[in-house]
A = this chain, B = another copy of it.
Amino acid sequence: MVHTGACIAALMGQGGSQKYGLTWKWLKYFKNDRDRRDLVTCGSAAGMAAAFRAPVGGLLFALEEMTSWWRSALLWRAFFTTAVVAIVLRALIDVCLSGKCGLFGKGGLIMFDVTSANVAYQIWDVPPVLLLAVIGGIWASLYNFLQDRVLRIYNRINERRAAYKIVLALTVSIFTSCLLFGLPWLAPCRPCPSDTSEPCPTIGRNGNYKKFQCPPGHYNDLASLFFNTNDDAIKNLFSKNTDAEFHPFSMLIFFITCFFLSIFSYGIVAPAGLFVPVIVTGAAYGRFIGMMFGSHSTLNHGLFAVLGSASFLGGSMRMTVSLCVIILELTNNLLLLPLMMLVLLISKTVADAFNGNIYDLIMRAKGFPYLERHAEPYLRQLSVSDVVTGPLQLFNGIEKVGNIVHVLKTTGHNGFPVVNERPHSAAPVLFGLVLRTHLVTLLKKKAFLQNPVPAGDDAFEQFSADDFAKKGLGHGDRVEDIQLTDEEMDMFIDLHPFCNTSPFTVVETMSLAKALMLFREVGLRHLLVIPKVSGRIPVVGIITRHDFMPEHVLSLHPSLAKSKWKRLRVKLPRGVKII
Protein backbone atom coordinates (compact mmCIF):
# COMPACT_ATOMS: atom_id res chain seq x y z
CA MET A 1 0.00 0.00 0.00
CA VAL A 2 2.85 2.36 0.83
CA HIS A 3 4.40 1.50 -2.48
CA THR A 4 1.12 1.93 -4.33
CA GLY A 5 0.56 5.34 -2.78
CA ALA A 6 4.06 6.44 -3.69
CA CYS A 7 3.67 5.15 -7.24
CA ILE A 8 0.41 7.01 -7.82
CA ALA A 9 2.03 10.16 -6.47
CA ALA A 10 5.09 9.70 -8.67
CA LEU A 11 2.84 9.25 -11.68
CA MET A 12 1.08 12.51 -10.86
CA GLY A 13 4.46 14.15 -10.47
CA GLN A 14 5.24 13.17 -14.04
CA GLY A 15 2.08 14.83 -15.21
CA GLY A 16 0.11 11.62 -15.59
CA SER A 17 0.72 8.83 -18.03
CA GLN A 18 0.72 9.80 -21.68
CA LYS A 19 0.58 6.16 -22.69
CA TYR A 20 -2.81 5.64 -21.12
CA GLY A 21 -4.11 9.11 -21.84
CA LEU A 22 -4.18 10.00 -18.15
CA THR A 23 -2.85 13.51 -18.33
CA TRP A 24 -4.12 16.68 -16.83
CA LYS A 25 -2.88 20.10 -17.70
CA TRP A 26 -2.64 21.36 -14.13
CA LEU A 27 -0.30 18.51 -13.23
CA LYS A 28 2.47 20.37 -15.05
CA TYR A 29 2.92 22.54 -11.99
CA PHE A 30 4.34 19.52 -10.20
CA LYS A 31 6.95 18.92 -12.88
CA ASN A 32 9.98 19.80 -10.79
CA ASP A 33 12.24 17.97 -8.40
CA ARG A 34 10.93 19.44 -5.21
CA ASP A 35 7.23 19.00 -5.81
CA ARG A 36 7.70 15.53 -7.17
CA ARG A 37 9.64 14.52 -4.08
CA ASP A 38 6.97 16.03 -1.84
CA LEU A 39 4.24 14.27 -3.77
CA VAL A 40 5.93 10.91 -3.34
CA THR A 41 6.28 11.52 0.39
CA CYS A 42 2.61 12.42 0.69
CA GLY A 43 1.67 9.41 -1.41
CA SER A 44 3.54 7.01 0.81
CA ALA A 45 2.03 8.63 3.91
CA ALA A 46 -1.40 8.15 2.39
CA GLY A 47 -0.61 4.53 1.57
CA MET A 48 0.52 3.82 5.09
CA ALA A 49 -2.49 5.62 6.52
CA ALA A 50 -4.86 3.60 4.38
CA ALA A 51 -3.12 0.27 4.96
CA PHE A 52 -3.19 0.46 8.73
CA ARG A 53 -6.05 2.94 9.13
CA ALA A 54 -3.51 4.99 11.04
CA PRO A 55 -3.49 8.51 9.54
CA VAL A 56 -1.20 10.17 12.06
CA GLY A 57 1.08 7.14 12.19
CA GLY A 58 1.29 7.06 8.41
CA LEU A 59 2.22 10.71 8.31
CA LEU A 60 4.92 10.30 10.92
CA PHE A 61 6.21 7.18 9.19
CA ALA A 62 6.65 9.10 5.97
CA LEU A 63 8.43 11.91 7.76
CA GLU A 64 10.62 9.80 10.01
CA GLU A 65 11.59 7.08 7.60
CA MET A 66 10.90 8.15 4.04
CA THR A 67 12.10 11.71 3.71
CA SER A 68 15.69 12.71 3.82
CA TRP A 69 14.67 16.33 3.62
CA TRP A 70 12.01 17.67 5.91
CA ARG A 71 10.27 20.97 5.34
CA SER A 72 7.53 22.41 7.47
CA ALA A 73 5.41 22.94 4.37
CA LEU A 74 5.71 19.21 3.78
CA LEU A 75 4.31 18.47 7.22
CA TRP A 76 1.24 20.46 6.43
CA ARG A 77 0.78 18.84 3.02
CA ALA A 78 1.22 15.35 4.38
CA PHE A 79 -1.25 16.15 7.14
CA PHE A 80 -3.74 17.26 4.55
CA THR A 81 -3.22 14.05 2.58
CA THR A 82 -3.64 11.73 5.53
CA ALA A 83 -6.62 13.71 6.84
CA VAL A 84 -8.35 13.16 3.52
CA VAL A 85 -7.44 9.46 3.73
CA ALA A 86 -8.91 9.27 7.22
CA ILE A 87 -12.12 10.98 6.23
CA VAL A 88 -12.58 8.88 3.10
CA LEU A 89 -11.83 5.71 5.06
CA ARG A 90 -14.36 6.66 7.69
CA ALA A 91 -16.99 7.47 5.10
CA LEU A 92 -16.42 4.20 3.25
CA ILE A 93 -16.64 2.24 6.49
CA ASP A 94 -20.07 3.79 6.96
CA VAL A 95 -21.09 2.83 3.46
CA CYS A 96 -19.70 -0.69 3.79
CA LEU A 97 -21.03 -1.41 7.26
CA SER A 98 -23.57 -3.80 5.88
CA GLY A 99 -20.82 -6.04 4.54
CA LYS A 100 -21.18 -5.10 0.89
CA CYS A 101 -17.46 -4.52 0.36
CA GLY A 102 -15.96 -7.88 1.17
CA LEU A 103 -13.53 -7.85 4.04
CA PHE A 104 -13.24 -4.05 4.17
CA GLY A 105 -16.09 -2.75 6.29
CA LYS A 106 -15.46 -4.89 9.32
CA GLY A 107 -13.37 -3.86 12.25
CA GLY A 108 -13.99 -0.15 11.95
CA LEU A 109 -11.20 2.38 12.13
CA ILE A 110 -9.15 0.42 14.61
CA MET A 111 -7.74 -2.77 13.20
CA PHE A 112 -6.55 -4.67 16.25
CA ASP A 113 -8.56 -3.21 19.07
CA VAL A 114 -7.18 -4.22 22.46
CA THR A 115 -8.90 -1.55 24.53
CA SER A 116 -9.63 -2.63 28.01
CA ALA A 117 -11.03 -0.12 30.42
CA ASN A 118 -8.28 -0.54 32.96
CA VAL A 119 -4.98 -1.93 31.82
CA ALA A 120 -3.56 -2.50 35.26
CA TYR A 121 0.12 -3.14 35.56
CA GLN A 122 2.40 -2.82 38.51
CA ILE A 123 6.03 -2.12 39.05
CA TRP A 124 6.86 -5.87 39.06
CA ASP A 125 5.58 -6.14 35.49
CA VAL A 126 8.46 -4.00 34.30
CA PRO A 127 11.32 -6.55 34.51
CA PRO A 128 9.54 -9.09 32.25
CA VAL A 129 8.84 -6.30 29.78
CA LEU A 130 12.48 -5.19 29.89
CA LEU A 131 13.59 -8.75 29.19
CA LEU A 132 11.11 -8.98 26.33
CA ALA A 133 12.45 -5.75 24.84
CA VAL A 134 16.10 -6.77 25.07
CA ILE A 135 15.61 -10.24 23.58
CA GLY A 136 13.22 -8.77 21.00
CA GLY A 137 15.88 -6.28 19.96
CA ILE A 138 18.43 -9.06 19.50
CA TRP A 139 16.02 -11.19 17.45
CA ALA A 140 15.08 -8.20 15.34
CA SER A 141 18.68 -7.33 14.55
CA LEU A 142 19.21 -10.99 13.62
CA TYR A 143 16.16 -10.62 11.40
CA ASN A 144 17.73 -7.61 9.69
CA PHE A 145 21.01 -9.42 9.25
CA LEU A 146 19.44 -12.51 7.68
CA GLN A 147 17.08 -10.45 5.56
CA ASP A 148 20.02 -8.52 4.16
CA ARG A 149 21.92 -11.70 3.30
CA VAL A 150 18.91 -13.40 1.73
CA LEU A 151 18.12 -10.29 -0.27
CA ARG A 152 21.62 -10.12 -1.68
CA ILE A 153 21.39 -13.75 -2.78
CA TYR A 154 17.94 -13.15 -4.29
CA ASN A 155 19.21 -10.07 -6.10
CA ARG A 156 21.93 -12.13 -7.69
CA ILE A 157 19.38 -14.72 -8.81
CA ASN A 158 16.82 -12.18 -10.00
CA GLU A 159 19.37 -10.30 -12.06
CA ARG A 160 19.94 -13.24 -14.38
CA ARG A 161 16.79 -13.93 -16.34
CA ALA A 162 13.02 -13.73 -15.96
CA ALA A 163 12.80 -17.51 -15.71
CA TYR A 164 15.05 -17.52 -12.66
CA LYS A 165 12.75 -15.06 -10.94
CA ILE A 166 9.71 -17.21 -11.50
CA VAL A 167 11.46 -20.40 -10.41
CA LEU A 168 12.61 -18.68 -7.24
CA ALA A 169 9.13 -17.38 -6.47
CA LEU A 170 7.61 -20.79 -7.16
CA THR A 171 10.12 -22.57 -4.94
CA VAL A 172 9.49 -20.24 -2.06
CA SER A 173 5.73 -20.43 -2.38
CA ILE A 174 5.64 -24.23 -2.67
CA PHE A 175 7.97 -24.53 0.30
CA THR A 176 5.77 -22.13 2.28
CA SER A 177 2.59 -24.02 1.43
CA CYS A 178 4.08 -27.35 2.43
CA LEU A 179 5.35 -25.94 5.67
CA LEU A 180 2.07 -24.26 6.57
CA PHE A 181 0.07 -27.39 5.88
CA GLY A 182 2.59 -29.79 7.36
CA LEU A 183 3.43 -28.12 10.63
CA PRO A 184 -0.01 -28.22 12.27
CA TRP A 185 0.25 -32.04 12.29
CA LEU A 186 2.89 -31.59 14.97
CA ALA A 187 0.43 -29.99 17.37
CA PRO A 188 -1.76 -32.27 19.43
CA CYS A 189 -5.50 -31.85 19.45
CA ARG A 190 -6.84 -29.92 22.40
CA PRO A 191 -10.32 -30.14 23.84
CA CYS A 192 -12.58 -27.17 23.20
CA PRO A 193 -13.08 -24.87 26.15
CA SER A 194 -16.58 -25.02 27.53
CA ASP A 195 -16.99 -21.29 28.14
CA THR A 196 -16.35 -19.93 24.67
CA SER A 197 -18.91 -17.90 22.78
CA GLU A 198 -17.48 -18.93 19.42
CA PRO A 199 -18.27 -22.20 17.72
CA CYS A 200 -15.60 -24.77 18.48
CA PRO A 201 -14.22 -26.39 16.46
CA THR A 202 -14.75 -24.17 13.41
CA ILE A 203 -14.45 -25.50 9.91
CA GLY A 204 -15.22 -22.39 7.85
CA ARG A 205 -12.88 -19.63 6.81
CA ASN A 206 -13.03 -17.55 9.96
CA GLY A 207 -12.81 -18.57 13.56
CA ASN A 208 -10.37 -19.08 16.35
CA TYR A 209 -10.68 -22.82 16.87
CA LYS A 210 -9.74 -24.67 13.70
CA LYS A 211 -10.65 -28.35 13.58
CA PHE A 212 -8.03 -29.54 11.08
CA GLN A 213 -7.40 -33.24 11.72
CA CYS A 214 -8.97 -33.31 15.18
CA PRO A 215 -12.00 -35.26 16.37
CA PRO A 216 -15.21 -33.36 17.18
CA GLY A 217 -14.99 -31.25 20.31
CA HIS A 218 -11.27 -30.71 19.82
CA TYR A 219 -9.24 -28.10 17.95
CA ASN A 220 -5.68 -27.69 16.69
CA ASP A 221 -4.20 -24.45 18.02
CA LEU A 222 -1.38 -24.30 15.50
CA ALA A 223 -3.82 -24.66 12.65
CA SER A 224 -5.84 -21.83 14.14
CA LEU A 225 -2.82 -19.60 13.71
CA PHE A 226 -1.60 -20.82 10.34
CA PHE A 227 -4.92 -21.14 8.53
CA ASN A 228 -5.87 -17.51 8.94
CA THR A 229 -5.03 -14.30 7.18
CA ASN A 230 -2.22 -12.41 8.83
CA ASP A 231 -4.70 -9.81 10.04
CA ASP A 232 -6.84 -12.40 11.77
CA ALA A 233 -3.78 -14.08 13.25
CA ILE A 234 -2.71 -10.75 14.72
CA LYS A 235 -6.19 -10.17 16.08
CA ASN A 236 -6.12 -13.61 17.72
CA LEU A 237 -2.69 -13.07 19.18
CA PHE A 238 -3.54 -9.60 20.51
CA SER A 239 -6.87 -10.65 22.01
CA LYS A 240 -7.32 -10.92 25.74
CA ASN A 241 -9.04 -13.72 27.65
CA THR A 242 -7.47 -16.25 25.33
CA ASP A 243 -4.53 -17.08 27.55
CA ALA A 244 -5.41 -20.78 27.61
CA GLU A 245 -6.15 -21.10 23.89
CA PHE A 246 -2.61 -21.70 22.68
CA HIS A 247 0.06 -24.10 23.88
CA PRO A 248 3.57 -22.61 24.35
CA PHE A 249 5.04 -25.26 22.07
CA SER A 250 2.64 -24.32 19.25
CA MET A 251 3.45 -20.66 19.77
CA LEU A 252 7.17 -21.35 19.56
CA ILE A 253 6.75 -23.27 16.30
CA PHE A 254 4.58 -20.48 14.93
CA PHE A 255 7.12 -17.84 15.90
CA ILE A 256 10.09 -19.63 14.33
CA THR A 257 8.14 -20.43 11.18
CA CYS A 258 6.98 -16.85 10.79
CA PHE A 259 10.45 -15.54 11.46
CA PHE A 260 12.11 -17.53 8.70
CA LEU A 261 9.23 -17.51 6.24
CA SER A 262 8.97 -13.74 6.33
CA ILE A 263 12.69 -13.49 5.65
CA PHE A 264 12.50 -15.85 2.70
CA SER A 265 9.34 -14.35 1.20
CA TYR A 266 10.65 -10.81 0.94
CA GLY A 267 12.53 -10.03 -2.24
CA ILE A 268 10.91 -12.54 -4.56
CA VAL A 269 9.02 -11.11 -7.52
CA ALA A 270 5.67 -11.44 -5.76
CA PRO A 271 4.92 -8.36 -3.69
CA ALA A 272 5.54 -8.90 0.00
CA GLY A 273 5.50 -6.42 2.83
CA LEU A 274 7.70 -5.96 5.84
CA PHE A 275 5.34 -4.45 8.34
CA VAL A 276 2.68 -7.11 8.77
CA PRO A 277 5.08 -10.10 8.87
CA VAL A 278 7.15 -8.32 11.51
CA ILE A 279 4.02 -7.60 13.54
CA VAL A 280 2.90 -11.24 13.35
CA THR A 281 6.33 -12.58 14.25
CA GLY A 282 6.67 -10.11 17.10
CA ALA A 283 3.22 -10.90 18.41
CA ALA A 284 4.00 -14.64 18.45
CA TYR A 285 7.28 -13.92 20.18
CA GLY A 286 5.64 -11.65 22.76
CA ARG A 287 2.91 -14.15 23.48
CA PHE A 288 5.47 -16.91 23.94
CA ILE A 289 7.37 -14.74 26.45
CA GLY A 290 4.08 -13.97 28.16
CA MET A 291 3.40 -17.69 28.45
CA MET A 292 6.83 -18.25 29.95
CA PHE A 293 6.10 -15.74 32.69
CA GLY A 294 2.62 -17.12 33.10
CA SER A 295 0.95 -15.96 36.24
CA HIS A 296 4.01 -14.06 37.48
CA SER A 297 2.78 -11.06 35.53
CA THR A 298 -0.49 -9.17 35.72
CA LEU A 299 -0.33 -8.37 32.01
CA ASN A 300 -2.39 -10.73 29.89
CA HIS A 301 -0.87 -12.59 26.96
CA GLY A 302 -2.55 -10.31 24.44
CA LEU A 303 -0.73 -7.28 25.84
CA PHE A 304 2.51 -9.25 25.83
CA ALA A 305 1.87 -9.90 22.15
CA VAL A 306 1.39 -6.18 21.52
CA LEU A 307 4.63 -5.38 23.31
CA GLY A 308 6.39 -8.20 21.45
CA SER A 309 5.30 -6.68 18.15
CA ALA A 310 6.54 -3.31 19.33
CA SER A 311 9.94 -4.75 20.22
CA PHE A 312 10.27 -6.44 16.82
CA LEU A 313 9.16 -3.35 14.94
CA GLY A 314 11.45 -1.12 16.99
CA GLY A 315 14.37 -3.49 16.62
CA SER A 316 13.92 -4.00 12.91
CA MET A 317 12.80 -0.59 11.63
CA ARG A 318 14.43 1.54 14.34
CA MET A 319 11.74 4.17 14.25
CA THR A 320 10.44 5.66 17.44
CA VAL A 321 7.61 8.17 17.33
CA SER A 322 5.97 6.86 14.20
CA LEU A 323 5.94 3.25 15.41
CA CYS A 324 4.59 4.41 18.72
CA VAL A 325 1.71 6.23 17.06
CA ILE A 326 1.07 3.46 14.54
CA ILE A 327 0.80 0.82 17.27
CA LEU A 328 -1.37 3.21 19.26
CA GLU A 329 -3.69 3.69 16.32
CA LEU A 330 -3.73 -0.03 15.56
CA THR A 331 -4.56 -1.11 19.07
CA ASN A 332 -6.28 1.94 20.61
CA ASN A 333 -4.67 1.39 23.96
CA LEU A 334 -3.35 4.65 25.29
CA LEU A 335 -2.72 3.33 28.79
CA LEU A 336 -0.08 0.95 27.48
CA LEU A 337 1.87 3.92 26.07
CA PRO A 338 4.57 4.18 28.79
CA LEU A 339 5.42 0.48 28.47
CA MET A 340 5.34 0.71 24.70
CA MET A 341 7.74 3.66 24.66
CA LEU A 342 10.02 1.77 27.02
CA VAL A 343 10.00 -1.31 24.77
CA LEU A 344 10.64 0.71 21.61
CA LEU A 345 13.47 2.58 23.26
CA ILE A 346 15.24 -0.52 24.51
CA SER A 347 14.76 -2.73 21.49
CA LYS A 348 15.99 0.02 19.17
CA THR A 349 19.04 0.67 21.33
CA VAL A 350 19.89 -3.01 21.61
CA ALA A 351 19.47 -3.62 17.89
CA ASP A 352 21.43 -0.49 16.96
CA ALA A 353 24.44 -2.10 18.62
CA PHE A 354 24.44 -4.80 15.94
CA ASN A 355 23.41 -3.37 12.58
CA GLY A 356 21.45 -0.72 10.69
CA ASN A 357 17.73 -0.45 10.14
CA ILE A 358 16.07 -2.75 7.66
CA TYR A 359 15.20 -0.05 5.15
CA ASP A 360 18.78 1.18 4.97
CA LEU A 361 20.02 -2.38 4.54
CA ILE A 362 17.54 -3.03 1.74
CA MET A 363 18.39 0.23 0.02
CA ARG A 364 22.06 -0.56 0.19
CA ALA A 365 21.47 -4.10 -1.07
CA LYS A 366 19.57 -2.63 -4.01
CA GLY A 367 22.36 -0.13 -4.64
CA PHE A 368 20.39 3.11 -4.24
CA PRO A 369 22.54 6.16 -3.53
CA TYR A 370 20.80 7.00 -0.29
CA LEU A 371 22.46 9.57 1.95
CA GLU A 372 22.89 8.44 5.51
CA ARG A 373 21.30 10.46 8.28
CA HIS A 374 24.51 10.51 10.26
CA ALA A 375 27.90 11.19 8.77
CA GLU A 376 30.18 8.19 9.22
CA PRO A 377 33.19 8.97 11.41
CA TYR A 378 35.67 8.52 8.58
CA LEU A 379 33.99 11.30 6.60
CA ARG A 380 35.35 13.72 9.16
CA GLN A 381 38.89 12.77 8.22
CA LEU A 382 38.38 13.78 4.62
CA SER A 383 37.85 17.13 3.00
CA VAL A 384 35.65 17.60 -0.02
CA SER A 385 38.66 17.91 -2.30
CA ASP A 386 39.56 14.32 -1.38
CA VAL A 387 36.51 12.90 -3.12
CA VAL A 388 36.39 15.15 -6.16
CA THR A 389 37.29 13.04 -9.16
CA GLY A 390 38.41 14.54 -12.40
CA PRO A 391 38.52 15.56 -15.09
CA LEU A 392 36.12 18.44 -14.42
CA GLN A 393 33.98 19.41 -17.39
CA LEU A 394 33.54 23.17 -17.60
CA PHE A 395 31.62 25.29 -20.05
CA ASN A 396 32.36 28.82 -21.06
CA GLY A 397 29.63 31.40 -20.64
CA ILE A 398 29.27 31.42 -24.41
CA GLU A 399 30.12 27.94 -25.58
CA LYS A 400 30.45 26.28 -28.94
CA VAL A 401 27.64 23.87 -29.81
CA GLY A 402 30.10 21.18 -30.84
CA ASN A 403 31.79 21.28 -27.45
CA ILE A 404 28.52 20.96 -25.61
CA VAL A 405 27.43 17.99 -27.69
CA HIS A 406 30.79 16.31 -27.22
CA VAL A 407 30.78 16.76 -23.45
CA LEU A 408 27.17 15.65 -23.10
CA LYS A 409 27.86 12.54 -25.17
CA THR A 410 31.08 11.55 -23.43
CA THR A 411 30.08 12.16 -19.80
CA GLY A 412 27.09 11.22 -17.71
CA HIS A 413 27.13 14.28 -15.49
CA ASN A 414 23.89 16.10 -14.86
CA GLY A 415 25.31 19.49 -13.95
CA PHE A 416 28.18 21.55 -15.31
CA PRO A 417 29.84 24.68 -13.93
CA VAL A 418 29.80 27.65 -16.28
CA VAL A 419 32.88 29.87 -16.19
CA ASN A 420 33.41 33.26 -17.77
CA GLU A 421 36.88 33.39 -19.26
CA ARG A 422 38.75 35.87 -21.37
CA PRO A 423 37.78 37.85 -23.39
CA HIS A 424 34.43 38.13 -21.58
CA SER A 425 36.02 38.66 -18.19
CA ALA A 426 39.38 39.78 -16.88
CA ALA A 427 40.02 36.66 -14.79
CA PRO A 428 38.15 33.35 -14.93
CA VAL A 429 34.96 33.75 -12.87
CA LEU A 430 32.52 31.08 -11.81
CA PHE A 431 29.25 32.24 -13.30
CA GLY A 432 26.87 29.47 -12.36
CA LEU A 433 25.68 25.94 -12.87
CA VAL A 434 23.81 24.61 -15.88
CA LEU A 435 21.85 21.37 -15.93
CA ARG A 436 22.14 18.64 -18.57
CA THR A 437 18.39 18.65 -19.18
CA HIS A 438 18.43 22.37 -19.87
CA LEU A 439 21.37 21.99 -22.27
CA VAL A 440 19.53 19.26 -24.13
CA THR A 441 16.50 21.53 -24.40
CA LEU A 442 18.69 24.31 -25.79
CA LEU A 443 20.17 21.95 -28.35
CA LYS A 444 16.78 20.60 -29.30
CA LYS A 445 15.33 24.08 -29.81
CA LYS A 446 18.49 25.08 -31.68
CA ALA A 447 18.78 28.38 -29.83
CA PHE A 448 22.13 29.05 -31.46
CA LEU A 449 24.08 32.21 -32.16
CA GLN A 450 26.25 32.83 -35.19
CA ASN A 451 28.88 34.68 -33.18
CA PRO A 452 30.05 34.48 -29.58
CA VAL A 453 28.13 37.53 -28.38
CA PRO A 454 25.71 37.75 -25.42
CA ALA A 455 22.19 36.79 -26.39
CA GLY A 456 20.41 39.64 -24.65
CA ASP A 457 17.09 39.75 -22.86
CA ASP A 458 15.10 38.05 -25.59
CA ALA A 459 16.88 34.74 -25.09
CA PHE A 460 13.82 33.35 -23.32
CA GLU A 461 11.40 34.30 -26.02
CA GLN A 462 11.42 31.06 -27.93
CA PHE A 463 11.00 29.01 -24.74
CA SER A 464 8.04 28.34 -22.52
CA ALA A 465 8.20 27.10 -18.95
CA ASP A 466 7.12 23.66 -20.13
CA ASP A 467 10.34 23.24 -22.09
CA PHE A 468 12.35 23.30 -18.89
CA ALA A 469 9.89 21.28 -16.81
CA LYS A 470 11.21 18.02 -15.48
CA LYS A 471 10.16 15.13 -17.63
CA GLY A 472 8.91 11.79 -16.42
CA LEU A 473 11.31 8.91 -15.97
CA GLY A 474 12.38 7.66 -19.39
CA HIS A 475 10.61 10.52 -21.16
CA GLY A 476 13.48 12.99 -21.14
CA ASP A 477 15.13 13.93 -24.41
CA ARG A 478 18.52 12.39 -25.04
CA VAL A 479 21.41 14.18 -26.66
CA GLU A 480 21.92 11.22 -28.98
CA ASP A 481 18.50 11.82 -30.53
CA ILE A 482 19.28 15.37 -31.62
CA GLN A 483 20.49 15.77 -35.18
CA LEU A 484 22.78 18.72 -35.83
CA THR A 485 24.51 19.76 -39.01
CA ASP A 486 28.22 20.55 -39.11
CA GLU A 487 27.33 24.19 -39.62
CA GLU A 488 25.24 24.21 -36.48
CA MET A 489 28.04 22.50 -34.58
CA ASP A 490 30.24 25.52 -35.20
CA MET A 491 27.67 27.94 -33.81
CA PHE A 492 27.47 29.19 -30.20
CA ILE A 493 25.05 29.14 -27.29
CA ASP A 494 24.90 31.86 -24.67
CA LEU A 495 24.50 29.84 -21.48
CA HIS A 496 24.21 32.85 -19.16
CA PRO A 497 20.42 33.17 -19.09
CA PHE A 498 19.97 29.46 -18.40
CA CYS A 499 22.34 29.15 -15.46
CA ASN A 500 21.65 28.90 -11.79
CA THR A 501 23.79 31.91 -10.97
CA SER A 502 24.02 31.29 -7.25
CA PRO A 503 24.68 27.58 -6.78
CA PHE A 504 25.69 26.37 -3.36
CA THR A 505 29.46 26.28 -3.04
CA VAL A 506 31.84 25.00 -0.42
CA VAL A 507 35.52 25.61 -0.03
CA GLU A 508 37.74 22.64 -0.86
CA THR A 509 39.02 22.30 2.70
CA MET A 510 35.59 21.73 4.20
CA SER A 511 35.23 18.42 5.97
CA LEU A 512 33.20 15.88 4.05
CA ALA A 513 30.92 15.32 7.02
CA LYS A 514 30.00 19.02 7.10
CA ALA A 515 29.40 19.06 3.35
CA LEU A 516 27.18 16.00 3.71
CA MET A 517 25.04 17.82 6.26
CA LEU A 518 24.69 20.78 3.91
CA PHE A 519 23.84 18.46 1.04
CA ARG A 520 21.17 16.63 3.02
CA GLU A 521 19.63 19.50 4.91
CA VAL A 522 19.23 21.77 1.93
CA GLY A 523 18.32 18.90 -0.40
CA LEU A 524 20.95 19.46 -3.04
CA ARG A 525 21.74 17.65 -6.27
CA HIS A 526 25.05 19.27 -7.05
CA LEU A 527 27.54 21.03 -4.86
CA LEU A 528 30.32 23.10 -6.37
CA VAL A 529 33.74 23.00 -4.75
CA ILE A 530 35.73 26.21 -4.96
CA PRO A 531 39.43 26.57 -4.29
CA LYS A 532 40.74 28.01 -1.06
CA VAL A 533 43.11 30.31 -2.92
CA SER A 534 41.46 31.71 -6.00
CA GLY A 535 43.95 31.02 -8.71
CA ARG A 536 43.77 29.98 -12.32
CA ILE A 537 40.51 28.08 -12.02
CA PRO A 538 37.51 29.38 -10.08
CA VAL A 539 36.06 25.93 -9.40
CA VAL A 540 37.79 22.74 -8.30
CA GLY A 541 35.05 20.24 -8.86
CA ILE A 542 31.46 19.23 -8.48
CA ILE A 543 30.06 16.85 -5.91
CA THR A 544 26.92 14.77 -6.26
CA ARG A 545 25.18 12.32 -4.01
CA HIS A 546 27.31 9.46 -5.34
CA ASP A 547 30.47 11.09 -4.06
CA PHE A 548 29.31 10.63 -0.48
CA MET A 549 28.61 6.93 -0.88
CA PRO A 550 30.89 4.75 1.26
CA GLU A 551 31.82 2.64 -1.79
CA HIS A 552 33.07 5.67 -3.66
CA VAL A 553 34.89 7.24 -0.73
CA LEU A 554 36.56 4.00 0.27
CA SER A 555 37.56 3.19 -3.31
CA LEU A 556 39.43 6.50 -3.43
CA HIS A 557 40.91 6.12 0.03
CA PRO A 558 41.41 2.42 0.66
CA SER A 559 43.52 3.24 3.70
CA LEU A 560 40.29 4.25 5.45
CA ALA A 561 39.03 0.69 5.21
CA LYS A 562 37.06 -0.42 8.19
CA SER A 563 39.83 -1.89 10.34
CA LYS A 564 41.78 1.32 10.26
CA TRP A 565 39.11 3.91 10.96
CA LYS A 566 39.91 4.03 14.60
CA ARG A 567 43.59 4.55 14.06
CA LEU A 568 42.96 7.41 11.67
CA ARG A 569 40.53 9.20 13.92
CA VAL A 570 42.09 12.49 14.89
CA LYS A 571 42.60 12.80 18.60
CA LEU A 572 40.52 15.75 19.69
CA PRO A 573 40.91 17.46 23.03
CA ARG A 574 38.32 16.12 25.46
CA GLY A 575 34.99 17.87 25.16
CA VAL A 576 35.61 19.33 21.73
CA LYS A 577 33.13 18.26 19.10
CA ILE A 578 33.11 18.65 15.38
CA ILE A 579 29.87 20.41 14.61
Contacts and interface: CB of A to CB of B under 8 A. Distances in A.
A486 B522 CA distance: 48
A502 interface: yes
Interface stretch (A80-88, A142-150, A154-162, A439-447): A80-88
A549 interface: no
A60 B79 CA distance: 13
B341 A55 contact: yes
Q: Summarize A's interface: helix, strand, loop or mixed.
A: helix
Interface string A70-86: 10110110011011001
Interface string A334-355: 1101100110110000000000
B86 A338 contact: yes
Interface string A426-443: 110110000000000000
Interface in A83-123: 83, 86-87, 89-91, 94, 108-110, 115, 122-123
A574 interface: yes
A514 B534 contact: no
Nearest to A518: B522
B341 A79 contact: yes
A508 to B, nearest CB: 9
Given A79-B345, A534-B429, A60 B338 contact: no
A42 interface: no
A226 interface: no
A393 interface: no
A342 B87 contact: yes
Interface residues of A, number: 86
A342 B534 contact: no
A325 B63 CA distance: 15
Given A70-B70, A506-B502, A517-B522, A579 B94 contact: no
A366 interface: no
A329 interface: yes
Nearest to A463: B573
Contacts of A460: 573
Nearest to A464: B573
Contacts of A35: 577
A106 to B, nearest CB: 14
Given A87-B342, A509-B501, A320 B75 contact: yes
A171 interface: no
B521 A334 contact: no
A374 B73 contact: yes
Nearest to A73: B374
Interface centre among A28, A83, A86, A517 (most CB of B within 10 A): A83
Interface in A517-532: 517-518, 521-522, 532
B517 A429 contact: no
A469 B575 CA distance: 8
Given A32-B579, A522-B518, A575-B465, A56 B342 contact: no
Interface string A302-332: 0000000000000000001100110011001
A469 B341 CA distance: 34
Interface centre among A338, A373, A504, A574 (most CB of B within 10 A): A338
A502 B514 contact: yes
Given A75-B321, A468-B576, A521-B521, 20 more contacts: A29-B575, A35-B577, A59-B321, A60-B60, A60-B321, A73-B373, A73-B374, A79-B320, A79-B344, A79-B345, A80-B345, A83-B345, A86-B337, A109-B334, A110-B335, A328-B334, A329-B337, A426-B533, A502-B511, A505-B507
Q: Which 8 pairs between the two chains have the least Cβ-Cβ distance?
A: A502-B510, A83-B341, A465-B575, A79-B320, A90-B338, A86-B338, A521-B521, A465-B573
7 contacts: A60-B60, A76-B320, A83-B341, A83-B342, A429-B533, A465-B574, A518-B518
Interface of A: 28-29, 31-35, 55-56, 59-60, 64, 70, 72-73, 75-76, 79-80, 82-83, 86-87, 89-91, 94, 108-110, 115, 122-123, 320-321, 324-325, 328-329, 332, 334-335, 337-338, 341-342, 344-345, 373-374, 383, 425-427, 429-430, 460, 464-466, 468-469, 501-502, 504-507, 509-511, 514, 517-518, 521-522, 532-534, 538, 573-577, 579
